[in-house]
Structures are given as C-alpha cells and as structure tokens.
C-alpha cells in the first residue's frame, strides 16, 4: 500500500518536478538538458555487460571515485555506467571519468519509467552509494534477478527509525540488496537490526579514505597560498544560512588579523552568483575565482565559484570549516581536508558524517564548534601555528590508517559477478 502511494505521489508530482528543473535552468542551463534521460527515454547502447554505479550527487560521486577507477582497471570486460540525480554529481563525473564510462541521469523512480529502462539495459550488477535506495528501482532489480550492492553503506539511528516506520516498503527495499558494504560496525549493526542477515553484511570502511588527490590541484592550491602570503581559512561546501555567520566571524577576526583571507566555496554552483551579490551588498572586498582574479591586499574574501577544484581550495588554506554543519543538514565529509593535512572545524550538526567527525576530533585533527564559539576557536587556532601543524599531521595520519576500503569492495563485487555469470 505504501509503495503504491509513493508511486502515485511521484506520478502526480512529475509535472512539478520537470517545471522545477525548467525554473532552475534560468540560472544554470544544465537543468534543462538531458530530460530524456530522466524520463528513461535514453537507454545506453554497449556491446559489453554493464556494471551500473549510482551516485546521486557530488558527495557520493567523490566517495565512489576510487571504486569506479578500480572497476575500470580490474573489470575491463565490463562497461561501467555511472548515474546521478544532480548536475553537480554529473559535472564531477564528467571531469573525472570523461568518456571512460557511460554517464547519465537516473530515470525517475516510477514503474512505467524505471522498469523498461532496467529490463532493456540488463546490468550484471548494480552498485548503489551509501543510502541511496529507491523502491521501484530495487523491485525491478529483484524481479530481474540483478544483484545489488550497497557500497560505502551508512545507516545512523535516525535513518534506521525512518526505515522502520516505512514498514513493508522498507523491508522490500532491503531484501533486494544482495550485499551491504557498511562503513563501520555501527552502520552494520543498524542494517542488521533492520533485518539484513549477517551473511549479507561486511565492514569495508569508507571509500573516501582511498581517493587519490590530484597533485595538479594540490600544486595549484599551494601556488595560490604562496602568492597570497597571508593567513587563510576556508568555508567549504557552505549552505545559505551559514555564509552570513561565516562572514560575521571573518569580520571579527579581521580586527585581530587584518590581512586574514577567507575563501568561501558554496556547495551548489547555482548559488555562486547569489553569494557574490551578497558579498557586494555587505560591502566586502572580494574577488571571484571564475574571473581569473586572485584577491589583492584590499580584498579579504575570495569566492571559489569554479567547479571541481575543492582540493585546490583546501590546499590553499591553513584551516577549514566544513559546511552543512552549522545548518541542520548533517555536515559534509571532513575526510577531504584531513587527507591534505588541513585542520578542520565543524558545527554541531554532523549526523551524516558522525563517525569520521568523532574520530578526527579524538585524533586531535578536528575542533567541534558552535555558532557562538566559532570566532573564539578560530582566533585561538590561527594564533597558534604549532597547533595547526599538529592538527594537520594528525588528520593526515588518521586518513592513511583507514585506507583499504576499495580492495574490500572489489572482493565483494568479484563474488557477486561470479555468482551472476
């Protein structure tokens, strides 16, 4: 009953979903492109059997990159297809993989759209990222006997309660999973409590630890840092409610450190222009990276309004605030800055990355903050280069100690493909 209602609601909402894409395309034309893919009309053609990897957005695409790169190397007889739901995820996949994979948007999760798509494509394996479960998609995979791996699986207590409330629909989705590669013991326990037996569960760690950092980006960031020749902090992957807080704190810090530079990198590219206008209204001296300009001595903010260069922005900074953590969104991953040896501060809303947040804090690489304590924390740590150095080294070491998730995933994938031959 709940699944039927879910499908009905999405069907009724479909015209509004398409209209929303059209409205958003006024600021970013990419939103009105590839509609046939979203409607399941565009089915890729290939002579190879398909391994289908679904990474809904930018964060999941970044997390899955080490695995996809390994799939391209380890399974050359297969065609890798990567699907997304967001333009940021699609843009990252295009930049990272180019034509080495088939790239397209996931068709909407409606039986009359997703069923014919899956049946015609007939993938040998579907790999879903983290907690990206779609009822109709999974039902079709199960009916077609297509194995499904939940990779880099996450399941916190709040999500688990929501799945329990969904009753039979949640049970049907979870029963369609051939295997769950959980990040931690806590994630595994939550999946097990939801009814997935232990023989379909493994602890593999977090794929983000295995991502290869672009030396070109790191070199670019360090070159910027040398040219700045000034203390620099970054507010990365920020949300609308966070930028005013960050800017207010930055203004306070400037009274103590007059040459301090702030790099702001909004999470969503369609907000780049809005943030630029906001900075102008606040009469803040700023430069925009998209114009090719680096900030001069009179400009205290640099707007990182280019895609695919987050590692370079991190490498140009002394310390990083990771966004969606002052906003009640759950926090983005602190693994990226830590992997570069950049100290991290994060707000209290970190339920999406709780394990890595807590582990980095315990290692001495991350400082938890609140809106009220951000200024005092930043003031103290920026005045202590030795602490910054120690935090950065601790984070880099912690990331190195937690690598190896890719190989563990590949072992599971090999077994699933062998069983499906």
Whether the CB-CB separation of 58 and 88 falls below 8 Å is answered with yes
Secondary structure element (H or E) that encloses residue 90, with its range: helix 87-97
306 Cβ neighbours under 8 A, 6+ residues apart: 289, 290
7 Cβ neighbours under 8 A, 6+ residues apart: 110, 111, 135, 136
List residues bridging with 233 in a β-sheet.
Answer: 262, 319
Residue 254: alpha-carbon gap to chain centroid: 31
Q: In a 3-state reduction of DSSP, which class is residue 53?
A: strand
Secondary structure element (H or E) that encloses residue 65, with its range: helix 58-74
Secondary structure element (H or E) that encloses residue 128, with its range: strand 125-129
Whether the CB-CB separation of 318 and 233 falls below 8 Å is answered with yes
In the 8-state DSSP scheme, what is residue 107? P
Q: Is 60 a catalytic residue?
A: yes
b/e map of 93-125 (b: 16 or more CB within 10 Å)? bbebbeeebbbbbbbbbbbebbbebbeebebbb
CA distance 397 to 88: 30
Q: Where are the alpha helices (DSSP H) in 111-178?
A: 111-121, 135-143, 157-165, 168-175
Catalytic residue IDs: 60
């Amino acid at each position: 009953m709940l699944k039927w209602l879910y499908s009905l609601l999405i069907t009724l909402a479909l015209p509004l979903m398409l209209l929303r894409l059209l409205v958003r395309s006024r600021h970013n034309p990419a939103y009105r492109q590839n509609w046939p893919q979203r409607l399941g009309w565009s089915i890729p053609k290939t002579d190879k059997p398909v391994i289908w990897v679904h990474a809904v957005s930018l964060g999941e695409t970044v997390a899955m990159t080490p695995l996809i790169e390994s799939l391209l190397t380890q399974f050359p007889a297969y065609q890798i297809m990567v699907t997304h739901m967001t333009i940021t995820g699609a843009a990252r996949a295009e930049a990272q993989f180019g034509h080495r994979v088939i790239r397209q948007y996931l068709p909407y999760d409606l039986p009359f759209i997703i069923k014919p798509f899956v049946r015609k494509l007939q993938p040998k394996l579907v790999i879903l990222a983290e907690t990206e479960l779609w009822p109709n998609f999974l039902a079709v995979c199960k009916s077609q006997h297509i194995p499904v791996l939940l990779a880099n699986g996450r399941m916190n207590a709040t999500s688990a309660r929501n799945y329990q409330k969904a009753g039979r629909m949640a049970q049907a989705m979870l029963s369609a999973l051939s295997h769950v590669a959980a990040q931690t013991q806590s994630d595994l326990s939550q999946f097990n409590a939801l009814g997935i037996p232990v023989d379909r569960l493994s602890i593999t760690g977090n794929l983000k630890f295995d991502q290869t950092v672009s030396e070109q980006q790191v070199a670019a960031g360090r070159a910027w840092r040398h040219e700045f020749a000034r203390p620099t902090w970054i507010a990365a992957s920020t949300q609308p409610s966070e930028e005013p807080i960050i800017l207010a704190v930055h203004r306070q810090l400037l009274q103590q450190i007059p040459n301090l530079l702030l790099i702001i990198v909004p999470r969503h590219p369609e907000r780049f222009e809005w943030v630029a206008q906001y900075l102008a209204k606040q009469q803040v001296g700023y430069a925009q990276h998209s114009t090719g300009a680096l900030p001069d001595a009179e400009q205290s903010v640099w707007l990182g309004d280019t895609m695919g260069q987050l590692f370079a922005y991190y490498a140009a900074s002394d310390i990083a605030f990771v966004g969606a953590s002052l906003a009640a969104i759950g926090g983005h991953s602190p693994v990226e800055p830590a992997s570069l040896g950049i100290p991290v501060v994060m707000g209290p809303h970190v339920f999406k990355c709780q394990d890595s947040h807590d582990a980095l804090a315990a290692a001495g690489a991350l400082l938890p903050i609140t809106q009220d304590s951000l200024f005092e924390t930043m003031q103290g740590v920026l005045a202590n280069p030795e602490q910054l150095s120690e935090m950065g080294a601790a984070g880099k070491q912690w990331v190195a100690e937690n690598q190896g998730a890719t190989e563990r995933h590949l072992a599971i994938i090999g077994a699933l493909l062998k069983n499906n031959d």
